[in-house]
Amino acid sequence: MLFLMGIFFSFAQQNSVSGTITDFENLPLPGVNILVKGTTTGTQSDFDGNYVIAANEGDILVFSYLGQKTVEITVGNSNTIDVRMEEDAEALEEVVVIGYGTKTRDELTSAVSTVQAEDIASFVATTSIDNILQGQAAGVQVTAANGRPGNTGFVRVRGVGTFNQNSTPLYVVDGVPVDPTNVNQINPNDIQNVSILKDAATASRYGSRAANGVVLITTKQGRKGDAQVTLTQTVGFTQRIQDNFDIFDIEGKLEYERQLAELGVAPALTLPGATATGEDRQFLIDNAVDHEEELLRKGFIQTTNLSLSGGTEKLSYFFSAGYSEDTGIVQRAQPFRRYTARLNTTYQAKDWLTIGVNANFARSSEQRLREGRNNVQNPFVAPYQYNPYNTIFVLDDNGDFLLDEEGDRIFSQSFPLAFNVAEAIINNLDLRTNLQSIATGYADIKFSENFSNKFQIGISNDRFNRQDIIRPFSRLDAFIRTPGAPGQSTRNGSNDFEYNVSNVFAFDKSFGKSKVNASLLFEYNENVLDLFSLTGEGFPTDQLDVISITSLPTDTSSDRVRNTLFSQGLFADYNYDDRYIVSASVRRDGSSRFGPSNRFGYFGSGAVAWNIHNEDFLKDGFFDALKLRASYGTSGNQNFGGIVANSFNSFTFLELLDFGAGNGRSNVSPAGAANPEIKWEAQEVLDIGLEYAFWKNRVRGVVDYFQRTSNDLLSPFNLSGTVGDENNQVTANIGEVRNTGLEFELSVDAVQTQNVRWTLGGNILFIDNEVIELVNGIDQFRGSGGTNRLALREGEEVNSYNLVRYAGVNSQTGAPQYFDAEGNITETFRASDAVVLSGKSPNANIEGGFFSNFSYKGFSLGTNFSFRFGNYIYNSAAQALLQDGNGVNQQQRTDALNFWRNPGDTNVLPSPLFRNEANQISDRFLQKGDFIRLRNLTLGYSLPATFVDKLPIQGLRVFVQGQNLWTFRPHFDGDPEIGNGSTEQGGFQTSGSQSLFNYPNVQTYSFGIEVNF
């Protein structure tokens, strides 16, 4: 049918002109806009540079393409017009989005990394923008928080500079600040480019919130011409990344139990390995379960995207709609789903007035699992804890499933299945939805050639709803039920509303070779967060689980937090002949989060750049670009308190009371210690950079040296427990931390011929971080539960591990040995022997990525690696699986058998007879997290024009893609790409510091097709 239509169309287009468009090197140029002048008839060249357009003799065709000189050709009597376009040196300059404006690369005095839509295209199957940034820009480190569908990763720009919210940068989408956790609601297909502001020269423009860098996301706009329709569909599957260790199979586990029982290890004596023989043992073997197969699955993913864009002389539009689904890898769980829609329009209302609106809506839904728990409520703990002989379902004496009255299998509930996660996933539901809208509207007024003004209002609203259901017949309910009130339901949610009003008044003028521009900014930002939670118990029926039918309301709460930020700024640039550029900024921020005496903060920057390539002595020389730049400036941080703001953590400067109730009576108690002295965290950044390009721009690169010093660091300050604060902490300005680094970016167009193109490149960051100063020089320890496993100490890396050192096994007795604080060997484990381990922290010393993009005619092959070296991770998962006999009643690793047996044994685990002394948290399980990971591999094929021409479409591309296909991890047991270890972190509070059975990262295999109309 399609084929027939194709014939029909080609038959119908009698008066059509076709041809091939090439660039100055005679390489086919796709994506060139072709317009019949004076009409709305237009098209684009395909991947091979071919085009077809309906035009009659005498029409004028306009060929335009970013970076090329626009060509106009009058149609003659030939139906073929081939065009060779020429570079437009001026237009080629990339426009870089920076704070409150744009600049060309030449004009820039700052370290700004950009990621363009073309770079993003190969990541279409990923659902989140932060994944896209990984390995793409020097100094930008992205770690998946975990593998949960739809989750956001941790993005860090140039190391750990602050301590809150995992050092997340400020995200600004089309000029509106957006909460980092909501960035994943933006459809990656809608993104035109991303700018990452890394140094003070540009980040300072965002003042008090820019200390962790700024990520500016700009979404797509329509281009002049006929409507372009793009339809993309991908499908694929995901699976857990395989471990590099083995756990016991049934026979191995029984043997392990037998051996420990033989040694006399008490908990082993009653286990099947010790007691079951003959037929009983065979029964267990015959009915053994592979819990990974029972509890996990291959996930299914699909994304569908449709975009429609175009424009006239005055109006442009970009519309898109998307759907993505990811079932996740847990059996019985409901999928993550996201729907997005966007409409971006601009309209030139008058010669002097341009208005525009960008609007984005996203809705997502998911079933959240208890992936952060460190017990068998977590479906990723269970496969590592359930023994192979613990069946998920109850079996009869023949090994067949026992069935209940309704004919369903019965979930087993014997230890360690006392809590059967398979049943919990069905009957204890945590269902969440988010509805997010981000919208901006602006008016750009040009008063004269020199004066202009841009007024912008942006809103970002995230409505979150959660329903947590513990069904009345579920196992969990049996444990926690209030007598007479079976079942429990919680409905909670929040509405996070942020609006931002800004006005930039700008002045631009050229005097001879000099150009001056200055902008005056006023900005007001207000965030209103509404929270509520309702809990009820007692369902009259098990067919409904809404809270409204419960008999006993047990908990209600609500809160509203308003934070405001009011700013004024002045930014100025002076440019002499595009050779010497000086820029400066100053900004004053006032924040409601600080007490009246410390409310205002001043931030500023100064920067210089020298475009050496524009000097006469280099013109027409070897270098296409050579720029030296330096900047120095300050930015701040006012984010502290919890991830979710509330009245208590938002007003640290006040000593507040907590109104509660007990036994039905109201009561009041202190909400926590206050710190009236709290003030802005200030960060000073020095950056010196060199940008270069040569060999006709085929080699491009950047080198940056930076020093980032955070003063008056805002961080929880540990208090004595005798003070009586709930958390033994108060937020305070605790000291100074410095990150020093060297960043390299390089890309090379190694081969550029008619049919073959090959670009190679990469980036690498060498970074060193150090605590320079702490209040009174006193170490600050971190870690929940008072475990103090991470430390800040002057002269050491941020969050250095503070652990007792393991000294191996006593080869004569099999006892575990430790070093005491003085370094003497002891067999007694004492927490007070913990020492701060110099140079061992979760911070990497080297990180980056490299890529290769190869194409031959219609085929393309892209590979993308990311790597990290020098960080350490406490491997709690390894400890849980090598418990030296303490875990004999649970699943263990096969190498658990490698324990001390005879005097003289070396290179062994401690004897299980010393299981209590051995199973301790020490540096025994502190492992290096080095890895190189093949992040993305994409093989694509674009149909040749000769074939596409026969179809009613303009282009068609198919591709297969794999993500996380291969990982080199020489030291780590498990997956070293760790974001959150666990919410029950056992003292490791910082992301990347611990591995503990969180939702694992997944491998993705997908197939996609992209059609352009």
Partner 1 sequence: MTILAMATMVSCEDELNQAPENSLTTDNFFNTVADFRLGLDGMYAQLLTDDDVAGIGDTYYGAVSLSGLPDILSDNVILVQSGRQSNRNNFEFNYTALNNIGPFNEAYEIINLSNIIVERIDNLQAGADRDDILGQALAMRAFAHFDMARLYAQIPTQDPGANGTLGVPYLKFEDGDTGDPFATPTRDTVGENYDDIVADLLQARGLIAEDNGSGRFNRNAVNAFLSRVYLYMGQWQNSIDAGNLVTTSLASIDNYPAVFTDESTDGVIMLADQDPALDNVTVGVLWSQTASGNVISEYALDFEFFSAISDDDVRKGVLSVIGTNNDEMHNAINKVGIDRNGVVDVKLFRTAEVFLNRAEAQFELNNEPAALATLNQLRAVRYSANAPDGETGAALETAIQFERRVELAFESHRFFDIKRRGESIQRSNFGDLSDGTGTPASVSSLPAGDFRFQIPFPIAEINNNPNFMQNPGY
Q: Is 651 in the site for partner 1 (CB under 8 A)?
A: yes
Closer Cβ to partner 1, 318 or 829, answer by number: 829
Q: Is 884 in the site for partner 1 (CB under 8 A)?
A: no
Q: Is 666 in the site for partner 1 (CB under 8 A)?
A: yes
Report the distance separating Cα 469 and Cα 486, nearest Å: 12
27 and 33 Cβ atoms separated by less than 8 Å: no
Closer Cβ to partner 1, 27 or 418, answer by number: 418
Q: Kindly write out the interface string for residues 411-440 of this chain, putting x where it contacts partner 1 by CB under 8 A and - elsewhere.
A: --xxx--x----------------------
Stretch that binds partner 1, among 210-218, 361-369, 648-656, 696-704 (CB under 8 A): 648-656
Closer Cβ to partner 1, 283 or 705, answer by number: 283
Window 670 to 699, contacts with partner 1 (CB under 8 A): 670-671, 673-675
Token pair 């849980």 in the structure block, residue: 880
Nearest to 634 by CA among 675, 598, 682, 584: 682
Q: Is 555 in the site for partner 1 (CB under 8 A)?
A: yes
One-character DSSP codes across 336-384: EEEEEEEEEEEEEEETTEEEEEEEEEEEEEEEPP-TT-SSTTSTTTHHH
Window 919 to 948, contacts with partner 1 (CB under 8 A): 920-921
Order of strands across the sheet that contains 805-809:
805-809, 816-819, 825-826
Window 821 to 880, contacts with partner 1 (CB under 8 A): 829-832, 834
Rounded to the nearest whole angstrom, what is the least distance from the CB of residue 648 to partner 1 in the complex?
Answer: 7
Of 516, 628, 656, 750, the residue at the interface with partner 1 (CB under 8 A) is 656
Q: Kindly write out the interface string for residues 258-297 of this chain, putting x where it contacts partner 1 by CB under 8 A and - elsewhere.
A: --------xx-xx---------------------------
Stretch that binds partner 1, among 135-143, 511-519, 625-633, 778-786 (CB under 8 A): 778-786
Q: Is 77 in the site for partner 1 (CB under 8 A)?
A: no
Of 204, 327, 378, 591, the residue at the interface with partner 1 (CB under 8 A) is 591
Q: Is 993 in the site for partner 1 (CB under 8 A)?
A: no
Rounded to the nearest whole angstrom, what is the least distance from the CB of residue 370 to partner 1 in the complex?
Answer: 15
Residue 670's identity, in one-letter code, is: P
Rounded to the nearest whole angstrom, what is the least distance from the CB of residue 65 to partner 1 in the complex?
Answer: 37
Burial class (CB in 10 A: 0-12, 13-18, 19+), 72: exposed
Of 163, 781, 865, 914, the residue at the interface with partner 1 (CB under 8 A) is 781
Phi, psi of 645 (to 5 degrees): -70, 150
Closer Cβ to partner 1, 49 or 207, answer by number: 207
Phi, psi of 180 (to 5 degrees): -55, -35
Q: How many residues bind partner 1 (CB under 8 A)?
A: 104
Token pair 């004919």 in the structure block, residue: 407
| Burial track 93-111 (b if 16+ CB lie within 10 A, e otherwise) | beebbbbbbebebbbbbbb
What the block records as the tokens of 570 is: 């002045």
Report the distance separating Cα 198 and Cα 216, nearest Å: 11
Report the distance separating Cα 745 and Cα 742, nearest Å: 10
What the block records as the tokens of 447 is: 């008063």
Stretch that binds partner 1, among 63-71, 563-571, 609-617, 929-937 (CB under 8 A): 563-571
Of 193, 500, 563, 853, the residue at the interface with partner 1 (CB under 8 A) is 563
One-character DSSP codes across 937-970: EEEEEEPPHHHHTTTTSSEEEEEEEEEEEEEE-S
247 and 891 Cβ atoms separated by less than 8 Å: yes
Nearest to 26 by CA among 754, 858, 944, 859: 754
Rounded to the nearest whole angstrom, what is the least distance from the CB of residue 914 to partner 1 in the complex?
Answer: 11
Closer Cβ to partner 1, 464 or 717, answer by number: 717
Closer Cβ to partner 1, 729 or 811, answer by number: 729
Nearest to 165 by CA among 209, 113, 215, 195: 209
Closer Cβ to partner 1, 616 or 822, answer by number: 822
Report the distance separating Cα 372 and Cα 382, nearest Å: 13
Of 263, 395, 686, 778, the residue at the interface with partner 1 (CB under 8 A) is 778
Q: Is 985 in the site for partner 1 (CB under 8 A)?
A: yes
Of 89, 544, 552, 643, the residue at the interface with partner 1 (CB under 8 A) is 552
Of 402, 643, 668, 1009, the residue at the interface with partner 1 (CB under 8 A) is 668
Report the distance separating Cα 990 and Cα 226, nearest Å: 51
Burial class (CB in 10 A: 0-12, 13-18, 19+), 902: exposed
CA 450 vs CA 511, 538, 903: distances in Å: 12, 70, 88
Rounded to the nearest whole angstrom, what is the least distance from the CB of residue 383 to partner 1 in the complex?
Answer: 18
Q: Kindly write out the interface string for residues 726-755 of this chain, putting x where it contacts partner 1 by CB under 8 A and - elsewhere.
A: xxxxx-------------------------
Q: Kindly write out the interface string for residues 965-984 of this chain, putting x where it contacts partner 1 by CB under 8 A and - elsewhere.
A: -------------------x
Stretch that binds partner 1, among 173-181, 315-323, 654-662, 904-912 (CB under 8 A): 654-662
Report the distance separating Cα 383 and Cα 974, nearest Å: 14
Rounded to the nearest whole angstrom, what is the least distance from the CB of residue 718 to partner 1 in the complex?
Answer: 4
Q: Is 10 in the site for partner 1 (CB under 8 A)?
A: no
Window 511 to 540, contacts with partner 1 (CB under 8 A): 522-524, 526, 537
Query: 346: which residues sit within 8 A by CB, 6+ positions away?
Result: 221, 315, 316, 354, 355, 356
CA atoms within 13 A of residue 272's CA, in its CB half-sphere: 21
Stretch that binds partner 1, among 79-87, 342-350, 723-731, 956-964 (CB under 8 A): 723-731
What the block records as the tokens of 938 is: 């994409």
Torsion of CA 538, 542, 546, 547, to 10 degrees: 0
Closer Cβ to partner 1, 90 or 404, answer by number: 404
Q: Is 648 in the site for partner 1 (CB under 8 A)?
A: yes
Report the distance separating Cα 291 and Cα 240, nearest Å: 14
Cis preceding linkage at 416, omega within 30: yes
Rounded to the nearest whole angstrom, what is the least distance from the CB of residue 879 to partner 1 in the complex?
Answer: 13
Closer Cβ to partner 1, 121 or 176, answer by number: 176
Rounded to the nearest whole angstrom, what is the least distance from the CB of residue 989 to partner 1 in the complex?
Answer: 9
Closer Cβ to partner 1, 496 or 687, answer by number: 496
Stretch that binds partner 1, among 90-98, 401-409, 570-578, 775-783 (CB under 8 A): 775-783
**Residue 522 pairs with which residues in a beta bridge?**
503, 568
**Chain-centre distance for alpha carbon 134:** 8
Of 94, 779, 794, 895, the residue at the interface with partner 1 (CB under 8 A) is 779
Window 459 to 488, contacts with partner 1 (CB under 8 A): 475, 478-483, 485
Q: Is 407 in the site for partner 1 (CB under 8 A)?
A: no
Q: Kindly write out the interface string for residues 783-822 of this chain, putting x where it contacts partner 1 by CB under 8 A and - elsewhere.
A: xxxxxx----------------------------------
Q: Is 899 in the site for partner 1 (CB under 8 A)?
A: no
Query: 87: which residues sit within 8 A by CB, 6+ positions away?
Result: 23, 24, 67, 68, 69
Rounded to the nearest whole angstrom, what is the least distance from the CB of residue 313 to partner 1 in the complex?
Answer: 26
Report the distance separating Cα 281 and Cα 272, nearest Å: 8
Rounded to the nearest whole angstrom, what is the least distance from the CB of residue 818 to partner 1 in the complex?
Answer: 12
Closer Cβ to partner 1, 58 or 483, answer by number: 483
Report the distance separating Cα 496 and Cα 441, nearest Å: 19
Closer Cβ to partner 1, 141 or 920, answer by number: 920
Query: 592: which residues sit within 8 A by CB, 6+ positions away?
Result: 562, 563, 564, 565, 599
